[in-house]
Amino acid sequence: MTTKADFTAEEWDALRRGLVAGEEAVRAAAPHGWFNRFKESRALKREWKSILERYGHTLLAQDLIGAEGQAPIESVQLEQDQIGPFIDKSVEACKAAAAIMAKADPHDAELYADVAIELAETAALAAQERGQDTAVSAAEGVVLRRVAHAFGRSEYEPPKNTDPRSSANFAQDASRRGEYE
């Protein structure tokens, strides 16, 4: 089982950064107003507590997350020309963390990637795109794929919209009723 003692101080800092870098990149990709930023922050706080409940039995999760289930969640305000470089830097942080975790127990490395991707998805889903075929915006979907690929998940697809008002779900329902044939 992997613990904090298995890493240097620099590696540990990179692992803590890599865990939140994906969700920060997603939040930057599709900036929302203050209310949606509030929803994202609230959803991420709930997700951290859920992660601690689900994975707190592992020493690595206990070391990374801490007993209180809190992680650094901050709202980053960026100018338009800063967004792309910020996202690139965040994805690089995910890649660096994945490379460091490659020396860890394979189960722990997989768990780490799962958690980092879950956090990024949580940020994207907090301000769900209503009436569209995807649950996340196009920009968020691109960043989610980049984050997942950084963790070696080349087959990853962003969450689909389960909102019955989305055009794809509407068309499927109409087709079942025989309205579109």
The rounded mean pLDDT for the chain is: 78
Q: Which pLDDT score, from 0 to 100, does residue 171 have?
A: 43
Q: Which pLDDT score, from 0 to 100, does residue 52 have?
A: 75
**pLDDT tens, position by position, 42-82:** 787 788 778 778 877 777 777 777 655 555 545 556 566 78
**pLDDT tens, position by position, 109-130:** 999 999 999 989 988 888 665 5
Q: What percent of the chain is modeled with pLDDT above 70?
A: 72
The domains of the chain are located at: 4-176
Token pair, residue 165, equals: 């008002």
Confidence (pTM): 0.77
CA distances from 148 to 21, 111, 121, 144, 173 (A): 12, 13, 10, 6, 31
